[in-house]
Structure 1
Amino acid sequence: MSYHRRGWLDGAVRILVTGANGYLGSAVARTLCADGHDVIGLVHRGRDGVPDGIVVRTAHLGDRDALGAALHGIELVCHLAALTRVRESFASPLDYFEVNAGGTVTLLQAMATAGVRKIVFASTASIYGAPRRQPMAEDLADDPPHPYAASKQAAESAIAAQAATGLLDATVLRLFNLAGGPDPDETQIISRILAVAAGENPTLIVNGDGSAVRDYLHRDDAARAFDAAMAGLSQPGRYRRYNIGTGVGTSINDLVAAATRVTRCHIPVEYRAAATEPDRLISDSSRAHTELGWSPNSDIDAIIEDAWSARRPR
């Protein structure tokens, strides 16, 4: 879907996508390129994982001069480069703040010098923590439960502060649980379920009774949200944040049932003592529906089918 005629866009835009070789960044780069934009992928090194047809520029997020060079001729930045693993963030919190918060600050400095005034930032709904009110809307207070979420919250704060100076037009997308396609994170629940279906692991270990409910979003739906958010940018000094999720709750038991339908494989489950975790975390994405014209297309079966197709040998 094209959103060009809904906002300031009236043709192709030259966009820098940071983290264009990542799980979501590659999908965003591919989506924007298919929509007719001139997409430049920013990576730390090489071009492995960057979609075909995307021009690559190389820079480290901590290198302001290299970022300045990469921003030459750019009109808008989609910033997705980040460290993203929750468990790892507990062990190496300073690395997460250095890359996710510090790298964002350095990017904003380089953008200011280069005269680039528009940014769409990939953030995380985990910043909300585990609020009692469900589904979760944007007016909830922040309560980041781990260093990863806290580092993303810090990055959001830097972006909001820069927007308040009148030098930046910014949209932040707080994403829910991404899934579908070739997910490189084998610790994610759908990857773990499909590993059992594929015979790579004998049993799915579940902490608790499998009733914990989460909001699973296809990464291609998330990528379309970046396209939609671009059209919502209007003028420097604007800062807006949106939840990007389906609003549909799916339990672990629901995931196992869906994976069984899709793969036609038996998936043994071993239930163990419950972990301390929220019972239910669901998005209220009505602001994105209303203001951006964005809504997801994929249900949980489509998400699992896509992930299963990516896992199976060709």
Structure 2
Amino acid sequence: MRVLVTGAAGYLGYAVVAALAERGHEPVAFVRDAAKAPRHSARTAVGDLEDVASVRAAVRDVDGVCHLAARARVRESLSDPLPYWRTNVGGTLNLLEALTDGDAPAKLVLASTAAVYGTPETQPIDEDSPIAPANAYGATKAAADLAAANVAASGQLGAISLRAFNVAGAVDDCTDRDVTRLIPKVLAVQAGLADVLAVNGDGTTVRDFVHVADMAHAFVLAVEACTPGRWRAYNVGSGRETSINDVLTAAEQITGRPVPIKRNPPANEPRVLLADSRRIRDELGWQAPNSDLSQILSDGWKALTSAYAAPE
């Protein structure tokens, strides 16, 4: 299957392209700069989601799309929401329009997020939980999901939304460089690329981390399973309860040095966010064999130190 990957130049995009190639598919990298296409790409399509002509050209001869390109910083979306609506919703609408111009129904897998649920009281979170985003990032992803669901219901394509929780780790030498996220920041501090890790409160806040390789495998299974006329949402998380303190302890064991931290007052954030991923396990046969915290951190540390570590 020839599969277009939007956002292929990104951290998750690299892993999805690699997973598609390993499965025997033909990944086409949709990037703004051809030099940034992942090395596992079979072909490159240069363009931008906000440029309708380039989107139409990119989807013209593909069998499906893994749609990852998006703005994805929660705090930034609160202070500057319009670019999130323009890219995450407007760009997705451009893609949907291009896909529905063809003669045959297409396959579309969207990178969605647990942020669409907001902060539900019931944990773990399943796909029937109310949609109640608390920020523009979550709201725009929820809107993109709904648009895809509506178009799928018309019979013009099959669509699946994969709602990721916290993706971390590395594939090959490609690791997450966004230090606004916990694990990349911890590893950056340990590598000497940042001075200190700010921890809000006592470090007992619990999150659900999934290895990027396992997340990428979910995209492969999903694009293979898309059925014309049907939209389905799947949560993708390991289901493991991991606190900030757990991450600190594991990072110290893997790197062999204490993590320098700065304690801040507790933040106004949910104490626990966990995925109920039974649906994707039962319906698509997905598993998370790489999502042990020690492997996530070890893979991320190996990739970071091989390319970005500061001199000793």
TM-score range, shorter chain: over 0.9
Aligned to 2:135: 146
* 1:200 CA displacement: 3.4
Distance 1:270 1:71 in 2: 48
Q: What do residues 212-237 of structure 1 show as CA deviations (whole Å, max 9, x unaligned)?
A: 00001111110000111123223x21
Structure 1 residue 281 corresponds to structure 2 residue 269:
no
Match of residue 55, structure 2, among 60, 67, 79: 67
Q: Partner residue of 1:9?
A: none
Deviation at 1:198, TM superposition (A): 2.1
**Which of 122-131 and 58-67 deviates more?**
58-67
Counterpart residue type for residue 285 of structure 2: G
Tell me, yes or no, if the aligned pair for 1:47 and 1:56 is still in contact at 8 Å.
no
| Structure 1: gaps (5+ residues) | 1-12
Aligned residues: 301
C-alpha deviations, 1:253-311, integer Å up to 9, x for none? 00000111111111133322111110100000000000000010120000000111111
2:161 pairs, out of 169, 172, 179, with 172
State the alpha-carbon separation in 2 of the partners of residues 42 and 114 from structure 1. 18
Deviation, structure 1 residue 204: 2.1
Cα distance in 2 for partners of 1:313, 1:90 equals 35
Matched, 1:213 2:195: no
Match of 2:112 in 1: 123
Q: Is the 8 A contact 2:65 2:223 kept in 1?
A: no
Whole-angstrom distance in 1 between the partners of 2:196 and 2:70: 32
The residue that corresponds to 2:96 in the other structure is 108
Query: Is 1:98 aligned to 2:90, yes or no?
Result: no
3-state SS in 1 of match to 2:95 = helix
Contact 1:196/1:204 (<8 A) preserved: yes
- Equivalent in the alignment of 2:235: 243
Q: What is aligned with 1:43? A: 31
Would you say 1:27 and 2:19 are equivalent positions? no
Displacement after TM superposition at 1:53 (Å): 4.2
1:69 & 1:41 partners in 2: Cα distance? 13
Q: Give RMSD over aligned pairs.
A: 1.3
Q: Contact 1:217–1:246 at 8 Å: present in 2 too?
A: yes
Q: Secondary structure at the match of 1:312?
A: helix
Partner amino acid, structure 1, of 2:210 = L
Identity %: 43
Please identify, of 181-190 and 48-57, the stretch whose mean Cα deviation from structure 2 is larger.
48-57
**TM-score computed with the length of structure 2 as normaliser:** 0.93
Name which of 289, 297, 300 aligns with 1:307.
Answer: 300
Task: After TM superposition, give the deviation of residue 251 of structure 1 in Å.
Answer: 0.3
146, 153, 177: which is aligned to 1:157? 146
The whole-number CA distance in structure 1 between the counterparts of 2:277 and 2:51 is 35
Contact 1:57 1:70 (C-alpha < 8 Å) held by counterparts? yes
8 A Cα contact 1:21 1:47, kept in partner: no
Which letter maps to 1:44? R
CA offsets, 1:27-86, max 9 Å, x none? Answer: 101110111111111112333152244311012112222211111221111111111111
**Counterpart of 2:35 in 1: which secondary structure?**
coil
Q: 1:200 to 1:67 in 2, by over 3 A?
A: closer
Post-superposition offset of 1:127: 0.9
Listed one character per residue, the Cα deviations across residues 3-25 of structure 1 (whole Å, up to 9, x for unaligned) are: xxxxxxxxxx0111111111111
Q: SS state of the match for residue 308, structure 1? A: helix
The amino acid that maps onto 2:167 is L
Question: Which of 260, 263, 274 is equivalent to 1:268?
Answer: 260
Return the TM-score normalized by structure 1: 0.92
Partner SS, residue 281 of structure 1: coil
